[in-house]
Structure 1
Amino acid sequence: MIFLNFENFLNNSIFTILFLVMIFQWIYIIIFPNKKIKLFTNFGVVLANFSLIGLLLIRWLNSGHFPLSNLYESLIFLSWTFILFYIILNYFFSNNFEIFGALLFPIILFIYSFANFSIPEELQNATPLIPALQSNWLMMHVTIMMLSYCSLLIGCLLSISFLVLNFKNIKIFQKEQVLDFKNLKLINNLIQIDSNIVFENKLIKILDNLSYRLLTIGFFFLTLGIISGSIWANEAWGSYWSWDPKETWAFITWLIFAIYLHSRIIKGWSGVKPAIIATFGFFIVWVCYLGVNLLGKGLHSYGWFT
């Protein structure tokens, strides 16, 4: 009873913290870039991180097993991994990462809200593990897969941000060509536009490079997760691969990002072309993780829609 009350308290607190962090990030970006607001936002991010850790630990103690046995717990874990990745990236790229935080935290809030308000309450409760999940592979395989999803999704979001800024710069450049250089005011405007382009070009390079690194890390985790899952499947069901819907879409996801890395490493592509592949991969990852779990019928299905 004590665990349940504290879990409910943390659930409500985390939702409030995530909402406030999102609002204050938007205020900092759009209205009032004050250092105190940024400090308050960073404090909220850290508080949300430790609150999610506490929530997962409570479920672990209450259920007696690692809290990744159903869709609800995996969504909570995914929310935490998003925040953890954000904290690490913000530490190394603090001067250029506020905009991305304003984009990322609405997604985190949506994931957390979906877990708490859309999944039926009876499927949110911690339950004993079915025989197939009673294995040490549960912690290793599922954790690695969640880390791969998180890294791939953030890398894809950075690629999408790259495409948006790149398209914006093209529009600015086109407008720049029609400026009348005889007009002093227009020359001043041009100087301002050029300074903005210099900043955004630097940001674009950071987004392209960071997206590449994160997608490489995510691909490594995905490969390791598929291998560990195959070994676990052989122990549980007597077959390394059964073309279950989850396994099929995991293979499709692997192929998409293998193509992405091939285009960058072998073909030498950079910029727009691989970013388009990553944008497509963003939706494939969501189908693999959430779509198959909700609508698919298979060994990995949480399937409460069906």
Structure 2
Amino acid sequence: MDFLSIKASLDNATFLILLLAMLTYWLSIAFSKTFGKLKIGYYATCTANILIAAILGLRWLENGYFPLSNLYESLLFFTWGITAITIFVEQKTKLLLIGAVTTPLSMFVTAFATLSLPEGMQKAAPLVPALKSNWLMMHVSIMMLSYSTLIMGSLLSILFLVLTRGKDIKIQGNSLGSKEFLTTEDTVSGMRDATIGVLALEPDANVQNEGLDKGQTRLTLLESLDNLSYRIIGLGFPLLTIGIIAGAVWANEAWGSYWSWDPKETWALITWLVFAAYLHARITKSWQGKNPAILASIGFVVVWVCYLGVNFLGKGLHSYGWVM
């Protein structure tokens, strides 16, 4: 079996399908009456997710170890995480705006991994001794999933800030409360279709949502984004915590020390502190709206520095297997 030709075909197919998904989502927003009900973007994202899983599975089968040993494999796994979370969130909320924001990121990361990285960096190489451990699967996969989750939650916060730029808004309710998401069946004054993200700051007081007590207000798009960002980051933070702990145990096994203040370790700690501050503010201070969104936006940059920026320095114990 020619794994190289199969891999090249799957790489190209994944990029084209993500491009199709992005364009379809954008058309659904721009021309909601014509394309708003179509689910081509959703199904294209599902297909891309399956193709990425197939690429990683083939590499696992060919090389005999979990495919997270170099930058190419980690970027694909990162994209798989983004698409998986997008599928889950869209299935639950019916918000097409989620896919419209995340598919461009998935497409560009895939393009960078498959088209920009030199062929030598895409090829799997024999593992160095430190990587020949079962901790490779546990630590690296959990860290990559945490990056995907935190990046997506932060991206929704950035979208929240873009939509509320120059507007004074108030988010009703609290971060811990149980909330229902608007769907296409819901009607709100000034909102054409909640699933595609037409901005509405004030719900119609005369329209009551089914199943809610009198006097309760419904979520607007902004409240949905604020709540979704919080929930997704709330999922990514414990993953990051578990990943850091697993990495410390592995470091002690491989290098004889739980913590060495390696640049990667330092930035992982900075990332943890930023999102710990975000969650602390939301839970204990009841922050909602712009303030936590700004903090999460800072986290967006910090995650990228931790994930890619440190590796491009080529320094530290974590430099092997990434950028040579």
Q: TM bucket by the smaller chain?
A: 0.7 to 0.9
- What is the CA deviation profile of residues 24-52 of structure 1, one whole-angstrom value per residue up to 9, with x for unaligned ones? 11111113543587222222111111111
Asked whether the equivalents of residues 263 and 315 of structure 2 are also in contact (C-alpha less than 8 Å), the reply is: yes
2:243 aligns with 225
1:101 is displaced (CA, Å) by 1.3
- What is the CA deviation profile of residues 231-282 of structure 1, one whole-angstrom value per residue up to 9, with x for unaligned ones? 0000001110001110010011111111111111222222111111101110
1:256 aligns with 274
Asked whether the equivalents of residues 249 and 287 of structure 1 are also in contact (C-alpha less than 8 Å), the reply is: yes
1:218 is displaced (CA, Å) by 1.0
1:6 aligns with 6
Asked whether the equivalents of residues 82 and 108 of structure 1 are also in contact (C-alpha less than 8 Å), the reply is: yes
- What is the CA deviation profile of residues 107-160 of structure 1, one whole-angstrom value per residue up to 9, with x for unaligned ones? 111101111122211010011111100000010001110111011111101111
- What is the CA deviation profile of residues 178-221 of structure 1, one whole-angstrom value per residue up to 9, with x for unaligned ones? xxxxxxxxxxxxx7589943469611111111111111111111
Q: Distance in 1 between matches of 2:271 and 2:82?
A: 19
1:74 is displaced (CA, Å) by 0.2
- What is the CA deviation profile of residues 1-36 of structure 1, one whole-angstrom value per residue up to 9, with x for unaligned ones? 511111111111111111111111111111354358
1:276 aligns with 294
TM-score using structure 2 length: 0.82
1:181 aligns with none
| Greater Cα shift, 30-39 or 140-149 | 30-39
Taking structure 1 as reference, are residues 217 and 32 closer, same or farther at Cα in structure 2, changes over 3 Å only? closer
Aligned length: 285
2:49 aligns with 49
1:118 corresponds to which of 109, 116, 119: 116
State the percentage of identical aligned residues.
51
Q: Which amino acid aligns with 1:277?
A: L
1:301 aligns with 319
1:75 aligns with 75
* Residue aligned with 1:233, SS: helix
1:136 corresponds to which of 118, 131, 134: 134
1:165 is displaced (CA, Å) by 2.0
Displaced runs of 4 or more, over 6 A? 303-306
Q: Distance in 2 between matches of 1:73 and 1:261?
A: 30
- What is the CA deviation profile of residues 56-76 of structure 1, one whole-angstrom value per residue up to 9, with x for unaligned ones? 101111111000001110000
Q: Which amino acid aligns with 1:129?
A: L
Q: Which amino acid aligns with 1:207?
A: L
Q: Does 1:107 align with 2:125?
A: no
Q: Which amino acid aligns with 1:43?
A: Y
Q: Which amino acid aligns with 1:265?
A: I
1:180 aligns with none
Taking structure 1 as reference, are residues 147 and 285 closer, same or farther at Cα in structure 2, changes over 3 Å only? same
Q: Distance in 2 between matches of 1:119 and 1:299?
A: 22
| Greater Cα shift, 144-153 or 115-124 | 115-124
2:201 aligns with 197
* Residue aligned with 1:242, SS: coil
Q: Which amino acid aligns with 2:220?
A: K
Q: Distance in 1 between matches of 2:100 and 2:248?
A: 38
Taking structure 1 as reference, are residues 303 and 61 closer, same or farther at Cα in structure 2, changes over 3 Å only? closer
Asked whether the equivalents of residues 25 and 38 of structure 1 are also in contact (C-alpha less than 8 Å), the reply is: no
Q: Distance in 2 between matches of 1:159 and 1:45?
A: 22
1:93 aligns with 93
1:156 corresponds to which of 154, 157, 165: 154
Asked whether the equivalents of residues 78 and 150 of structure 1 are also in contact (C-alpha less than 8 Å), the reply is: yes
Asked whether the equivalents of residues 27 and 33 of structure 1 are also in contact (C-alpha less than 8 Å), the reply is: no
| Greater Cα shift, 127-136 or 1-10 | 1-10
Asked whether the equivalents of residues 311 and 323 of structure 2 are also in contact (C-alpha less than 8 Å), the reply is: no
Q: Distance in 2 between matches of 1:49 and 1:193?
A: 32
Q: Distance in 2 between matches of 1:196 and 1:254?
A: 34
1:305 is displaced (CA, Å) by 6.4
Q: Does 1:166 align with 2:164?
A: yes
Structure 2 gaps of 5+ residues are 170-188, 193-198, 204-217
Structure 1 gaps of 5+ residues are 172-190
Pairing 1:7-22 to 2, within 5 Å after superposition: 7-22=7-22
Taking structure 1 as reference, are residues 223 and 4 closer, same or farther at Cα in structure 2, changes over 3 Å only? same
1:178 aligns with none
Taking structure 1 as reference, are residues 115 and 33 closer, same or farther at Cα in structure 2, changes over 3 Å only? farther
